[in-house]
Structure 1
Amino acid sequence: MTVYLRPIALVDSPQSEEGEALRLAGGLTYASRFALIRREGGKVVERTRFGVAEAGRVIRGEAEEQWEALRSPRAPLQMGARTVRLDQPQVMGILNVTPDSFSDGGRHISGPDVPMVHASAMLEAGAAMIDIGGESTRPGAPPVWEGDEIGRVVPVIEKLARTGAAISVDTRRVGVFEAALAAGAHLWNDVSGLRHDPRSLEFAAHCGAPVCIMHAPGKGEDLHEDGHYGDVVLDVFDWLRARRDAAEAAGVARTRILLDPGIGFGKTLQENLALMNALPLFHALGCALLVGASRKRMIGALSNEAPADKRLGGSLMLAARMMEAGAQIIRVHDVAQTVQALHVWRGLRDAALTDFGQLVG
């Protein structure tokens, strides 16, 4: 039997519940009610709802580890000379150096200085880090030879590293990340969940860099295939828990592991929406959450098939949902607009935390 501890009622502040609210993962999100879910044979057999004051009576066994994970702050990421704190949401800017990206179609490789200009603009707008990708992972995209991928990302990393920026690399190949690390990168963002390359787990343990493990159902070149779920939320949770455990067993410290539910990878619109609504659950895995839904197909599906470059409103709505859920890193194309939304969200949250007037009445 498997156990899941899901926050089901988020509140603006602990004082709004007279102290009976749990601060999730040391961030700025608070939960007052939870569901303890038990599943056996792929079916939910029990669901118990409780408040913070009842936790001591309800939580036993495996649920105790998840309860502690919900309560525990996430350690900051050390990325070169930069320390990225995870006690509030951070924005990761996307820099695609591919000719076939779904979102920009190679616009950022149109000249030798274009990637750096775009990266600099995102950093100036408030991105905490830049995520550089040299292979498109959209459905149907052809695989890229490792040497070509290195040739795309390394020159940009070398230039960007000289600015002191925090750099993530979006790749599923050990050889690419090894070259990226030598060029000045800091974080490995692996959309295959450390499965594509048989050396991945060993290298992740050896290199010492933080690594993001993303859920994708496909085992081969197509990460989008075989997306079949009984309960997408609980199935993805189980998958990420297993990959987290495999990484830890290989020698990767939990403080270096980030998890990503893989919005848009082998999932239907309904499944993506279910995962977005369930994001607070994933704090129970005890790792920082990195989530990317910027400009993705689900937005077009909900907005009269708007093309990728016309999905800003939907992207901001999903980013706001990530902020509310306490996701530590929000991966986006539109950095300036997302950072502005984050500043406003943070202002609202700070006001709620200091508004003691609501206790009077």
Structure 2
Amino acid sequence: MRLAGGMQWFSAYEVVGDTGRRTVPVADIASLGERAALLHARITALRAPWVLGERTLRFDQPLVAGILNITPDSFSDGGRHVDDPAAAADAGMAMLAAGAALVDLGGESTRPGATTVWEGDEIARTRPVIERLAAAGALVSIDTRKAAVMDAALSAGARIVNDVSALLWDEGALALVAARQCPVVLMHSPDPHKGGHGRVSYRDVVGEVFAWLEARIAAVEAAGVPRARIMVDPGIGFGKSLADNLALINGLAAFHGLGCPIMLGASRKRMIGALSNEAAVDARLGGSLALALKGADLGAQILRVHDVPETVQALHVWRGLRDRALAG
């Protein structure tokens, strides 16, 4: 069977239960009951494309979202584009020229300990850049927790909302997204109301994050946003230990059971430094590429990255290997 209708194939499931783990061929999945049949249907279904004005995002192969921060304090590129909308827009267009499918633009850092930005300042940082990018035909997502910023960004030409709090931080965010009928990315964090970095102890991080996202999707659907317009992000680095992050990435394929496209945002994150002699943020390209390719192998549809040209090149080679393997 195809994994989410994409380029990856599988022939069996690992089933985890009270009696341990066992392998079940896909042909026998119906014997496990209605819940297993529902998950199987979601895991194998092709994700509907997002038609966004003149642009369309298809999810049958991995795509790259370029990270563009208009902040003074983001952990990786803070301060690079503050107070210069033209230069920031040029940087976004360079990402698209290098092969990114969209630009994910934010005006507030979500690193641990970051100061909350007043929504007016966040709008002032992001709106002029979005207007320039949209006028040039770019596809833009707005990375924010605030309904007012979402509204201003969508009015300026952004097409997608990417919220690290899964529409929980701002009481008006869910209604705004439902009213505007835009696609939304829901990210898991253990304390979305407080910023996303509270640490909890997981017994089964994959299962618990899956259950949290499944409940959140149901709530967002009930508010009027179709599942076909929802993407999920397991929230690598948000309130999770190194072991938790590694388990989530290794278990990423399970999240196809939510029936939504998956975004993986692991670029330059702390876990890479932890695994590579505390490499500095700007020396984590190798680790970022390794995580991106792992995500592609497990069917992630969107890879959110800082290093667009390098990631796009790595995916071109990955795609060539997959094409040859399928042809052979």
TM-score between the two structures when normalised by the length of structure 2: 0.97
Root-mean-square deviation (CA), in Å?
1.3
Offset from partner CA, 1:51-108 (integer Å, 9 cap, x none):
223324x331111110100110001112231011111101000000000010013112
Which residue of structure 1 aligns with residue 25 of structure 2? Answer: 51
Q: Which has the larger radius of gyration?
A: 1
The structural deviation recorded for 1:45 is 5.7
Tell which deviates more after alignment, 116-125 or 106-115.
106-115
Residue 312 (structure 1) aligned with residue 291 (structure 2): no
CA distance in 2, matches of 1:247, 1:220: 16
Which residue of structure 1 aligns with residue 178 of structure 2? Answer: 205
Amino acid at match of 1:28: M
Tell which deviates more after alignment, 202-211 or 255-264.
202-211
Which residue of structure 1 aligns with residue 99 of structure 2? Answer: 126
The structural deviation recorded for 1:34 is 0.6
Which residue of structure 1 aligns with residue 13 of structure 2? Answer: 34
Report sequence identity in percent.
55
CA distance in 2, matches of 1:25, 1:249: 23
The structural deviation recorded for 1:49 is 1.9
Runs of 4+ aligned residues of structure 1 deviating over 4 Å after TM superposition are none
> Among 53, 59, 63, which residue is 1:86 paired with?
59
Which residue of structure 1 aligns with residue 230 of structure 2? Answer: 257
The structural deviation recorded for 1:227 is 2.7
Report the CA distance shift for 1:23/1:100 in structure 2 as closer, same or farther (over 3 A): same
> Among 123, 140, 149, which residue is 1:150 paired with?
123
CA distance in 2, matches of 1:90, 1:282: 17
The question of whether the paired residues in 2 share the 8 Å contact of 1:130 and 1:168 is answered with: yes
Offset from partner CA, 1:190-222 (integer Å, 9 cap, x none):
000110011222222111100000001114333
CA distance in 1, matches of 2:173, 2:78: 29
What pairs with 1:164-243 in structure 2 (closer than 5 Å)?
Answer: 164-243=137-216
Residue 136 (structure 1) aligned with residue 105 (structure 2): no
Gaps of 5+ in 2: none
Offset from partner CA, 1:12-34 (integer Å, 9 cap, x none):
xxxxxxxxxx1011111111221
CA distance in 2, matches of 1:242, 1:155: 36
Amino acid at match of 1:217: P
The question of whether the paired residues in 2 share the 8 Å contact of 1:80 and 1:164 is answered with: no
Which residue of structure 2 aligns with residue 23 of structure 1? Answer: 2
Offset from partner CA, 1:117-145 (integer Å, 9 cap, x none):
21111000000000000000000101101
What SS is found at the alignment partner of 2:263?
strand
Gaps of 5+ in 1: 1-21, 39-43, 356-361
Q: Which has the higher strand share?
A: 1
Which residue of structure 2 aligns with residue 343 of structure 1? Answer: 316
- Count of residue correspondences: 328
Offset from partner CA, 1:138-190 (integer Å, 9 cap, x none):
00101101101111110100000001111100001111000000000000000
What pairs with 1:326-341 in structure 2 (closer than 5 Å)?
Answer: 326-341=299-314
> Among 162, 169, 178, which residue is 2:135 paired with?
162
Which residue of structure 2 aligns with residue 359 of structure 1? Answer: none
What SS is found at the alignment partner of 1:201?
helix
CA distance in 2, matches of 1:111, 1:249: 40
What pairs with 1:99-114 in structure 2 (closer than 5 Å)?
Answer: 99-109=72-82, 111-114=84-87
Which residue of structure 1 aligns with residue 262 of structure 2? Answer: 289
What SS is found at the alignment partner of 2:262?
strand
